[in-house]
Structure 1
């Protein structure tokens, strides 16, 4: 028996964006590596109309191959037109129109058994359109902003709900995300919780003083890994720094708030203790987590952030807000602290962990159940069931 899966993902890395959707890629690679499974990836790329299409980053995206082998998977990258910032409501229609002819042709050559959509918007509604055209089942996974933002935005809410209603099965990155999906109007009986994975052979505790020395760091270090956007809460960390006079804060990530955060650090007199690292390659994160005494990410919303799990796997406790699956991960003080989204609460939690750091192996134990093997087992079982095939 062969399970033929069409994975549809607007979150998938390419040569120009190696960190983009890296967790979707790792999950898909785990599935594709299983005996008796054949996975084809459709990773649509949105391109703005001319003359914007001649500018970066669209110019580099246009140069990507339409089809390539990526980590032993066949990946198709059809283009669809998009209107930057304001065109989200049109993505489903534009994507469907762009990729349906390709999917029909592939399906005629070798029929797919099931569609695996890795994000709820626009992937979910597009998967619903394709599944209807091919008369096959489909699944959609909710990860965070796809429900918390697109599921609540008036222009896209109905499309998200339609995908949830028509899907044969659904996945959620945490129990908390499942509750959010149900609150939005989705059927709880169709939703399986599907936790992320972490490479426990790469994300391991190493010598912290040596990791700091390699980056020319000394004293207490707090690391934040996440895009520099308002929702991730880096501003709260910067505002907490005046209460933490010996602490260095490292911000690993890129985004539109970078200039604002740099100016804020200057205004607060802490700029010499804030390191703006920009986008960091995923392969460099284990060393960075090991150089930090604490990983802090006070987001306004999350599903179950991969950075939380990776930090814990390195024996680095986390300070996070009470969002998404936070309470499914931080079940005791050895994993870190769950705090209110205020500079005072964040500073207090960081001080407490620095004064009494938990045993690093005890911290790592919180991440040990989040393996890619378990992630792949659950995804394979979910899709096999939807396709009506025996396990």
Structure 2
């Protein structure tokens, strides 16, 4: 029996059910493996008292320290996240908080390996904890956890050091693996471990009926992701503004909302461009299945789950050449890789609309990405680290 301790600061809780849903799905898949016993440590970063009891932090402070989450034992220890430090001390403070927590867990659960499913601050902390408890460590890179923290002055050194010290590394795409190797991480320890998609949940539907449920007529573009600058929703808004009779629905919430609302107003397209706010992941399939195109103009990605979910719903994607884009859009039927400009996206969206590719043909692009393959690959990777000592 392989005893796995999964460490992730990116994991859902009762106050943030969409937070880290792909980490959750990967973890639940591994936990269901017949030869795996698994516990999850999902630390909660809070600022110093009394800030921890105010604003967006207040609900997090009330979460239980331990609970059963969808059949898995999960621990939610707190660690100090100092504001205004650009993350410089996150990993060291996380490590300090986790030493007693893991020592307590280890009394009843002698874990064989630490599986850090997000690179920062989890990765550097996992390396330190692996040395302390004498177990191998794996760290997974997903995208911004390396692209942002791995280039920021305050944290880049910690990311690189953790990557060099970990016993094994996972990357969501070949492109992500190349980026990690270019930062000095040992390429022979990096395994490509792609995401999965629930092909039962995400599936084509009757598109006119799905559009009618959303109050939409005519061509529909959907974009998903947090309303933050690097997601590039402004680019997609500009593109759709130049395409008459095309509707755009954006699912997500974030600090960039007011800026996007102003952009929509400036184009005079409030009648056909809508910000939906946060959409529960369980409702995302119905939204995607209504779309003719999924467009996401991210500045960087590893391999976005949103791309694969759209394909599974029979919806082509229009995306820039970032991360594993070329590993997903391997056929014209699956969409377009375009320049990260309004003109590039307008051209790509128009091209997909003119193609009218059957949904079943598009869905074939997602059938390479299954959670079963994800689980098998993760088990093989982690058990291999344990066998090698």
Residues 141-160 of structure 1 mapped to structure 2, 5 A cutoff: 141-160=140-159
Distance, in Å, in 2 between the alignment partners of 1:192 and 1:242 is: 41
Q: Supply the RMSD in Å over aligned alpha carbons.
A: 1.2
Secondary structure of the residue that 1:382 maps to in structure 2? helix
Please list the CA deviations of residues 82-128 of structure 1 after superposition, one character each: whole Å capped at 9, or x if unmatched.
12353411101111111110101222333110000011110000000
Preserved contact between residue 115 and residue 137 of structure 2 (Cα < 8 Å): yes
The runs of at least 4 consecutive aligned structure 1 residues that moved more than 6 Å come to none
Secondary structure of the residue that 1:80 maps to in structure 2? strand
Preserved contact between residue 48 and residue 80 of structure 2 (Cα < 8 Å): yes
The answer as to 2:27 corresponding to 1:24 is no
Secondary structure of the residue that 2:89 maps to in structure 1? helix
5+ residue gaps, structure 1: none
The answer as to 2:48 corresponding to 1:49 is yes
Secondary structure of the residue that 1:97 maps to in structure 2? helix
Give the TM-score, by structure 1 length. 0.98
Distance, in Å, in 2 between the alignment partners of 1:148 and 1:54 is: 31
Q: Tell me the matched-pair count.
A: 389
Q: What residue in structure 2 maps to residue 314 of structure 1?
A: 313
Q: What residue in structure 2 maps to residue 381 of structure 1?
A: 380
The answer as to 2:279 corresponding to 1:284 is no
Residues 288-367 of structure 1 mapped to structure 2, 5 A cutoff: 288-367=287-366
Q: What residue in structure 2 maps to residue 94 of structure 1?
A: 93
Distance, in Å, in 2 between the alignment partners of 1:341 and 1:162 is: 32
* C-alpha displacement of 1:353: 1.2
Residues 157-236 of structure 1 mapped to structure 2, 5 A cutoff: 157-236=156-235
Distance, in Å, in 2 between the alignment partners of 1:324 and 1:378 is: 20
Preserved contact between residue 86 and residue 154 of structure 2 (Cα < 8 Å): no
5+ residue gaps, structure 2: none
Please list the CA deviations of residues 40-98 of structure 1 after superposition, one character each: whole Å capped at 9, or x if unmatched.
10000011123322223211111110000001110000001112353411101111111
Secondary structure of the residue that 2:38 maps to in structure 1? strand
Distance, in Å, in 1 between the alignment partners of 2:108 and 2:116 is: 21
Distance, in Å, in 1 between the alignment partners of 2:158 and 2:368 is: 34
Deviates more, 1:48-57 or 1:130-139: 48-57
Distance, in Å, in 1 between the alignment partners of 2:123 and 2:74 is: 19
Give the TM-score, by structure 2 length. 0.98
Preserved contact between residue 202 and residue 312 of structure 2 (Cα < 8 Å): yes
Q: What residue in structure 2 maps to residue 136 of structure 1?
A: 135
Deviates more, 1:174-183 or 1:353-362: 353-362
Against the structure 1 CA distance between its residues 149 and 312, is the aligned structure 2 distance closer, same or farther, given a 3 Å change threshold?
same
